[in-house]
Amino acid sequence: MAQRADVDEGITDATLALLRAKGPKSVTVEAVSARSGIAKTTIYRRYRDRRDMLSAALSRVTTPEPLPADAEAADRLRWLIQEAVKTLDVGIGIGGLASTLTDDDPDFTKLFRRILARQRRELESVIDAAKAEGSFRADVDGATLIDAIVGAHIAERARTGRVATGWDARLFDLFAPIVEA
């Protein structure tokens, strides 16, 4: 079973690396096979096509890490910042973002937006729980908070070409007084 997990991880890693570097059109079974060293027949035994392969890879990086139930408000906000930008950092990268914004690959855009909607619901449920238990202000709009975090990440990357060390701490310092009850 460990070997299967290694193969699946190799396929996912190659899929995401190609996506981040060159956008969704670069993700083909042939390219993933060449990058990962995994035979095309092995890939096809696991995935019907590139869409299925992209869906599995993106689902892995958009599934939030578990948050401890007893997390304090500050820890919840730090977690939210980390999880909201993880999709860009280790998922689609700038290549995938550019393709989504330009709708260069409509099938990918549709797939990615569907996966993002699921991720957003999961992140918003954490915000709603924090509001219900009183650690976040009751008037915090979860969707807008997530958009502000992701937008700040994209702006930092556009402005400097990278996301500077400590960016997440600066963002936390900005949002904590606004969000925490």
- pLDDT single digits (tens) 118-149: 888 999 999 999 999 999 999 999 999 999 99
Measure Cα distances from 117 to 42, 72, 109 in Å. 30, 26, 12
Is residue 154 within 8 A of residue 162, CB to CB? The reply is no
Q: 112, exposed or middle or buried, with CB in 10 Å at 0-12, 13-18, 19+?
A: buried
CATH number of the 2-48 domain = 1.10.10
- pLDDT single digits (tens) 54-65: 889 888 888 888
Q: How far is CA 112 from the centre of its chain?
A: 10
Q: Where are the domains of the chain?
A: 2-48, 63-179
Question: What pTM does this model have?
Answer: 0.82
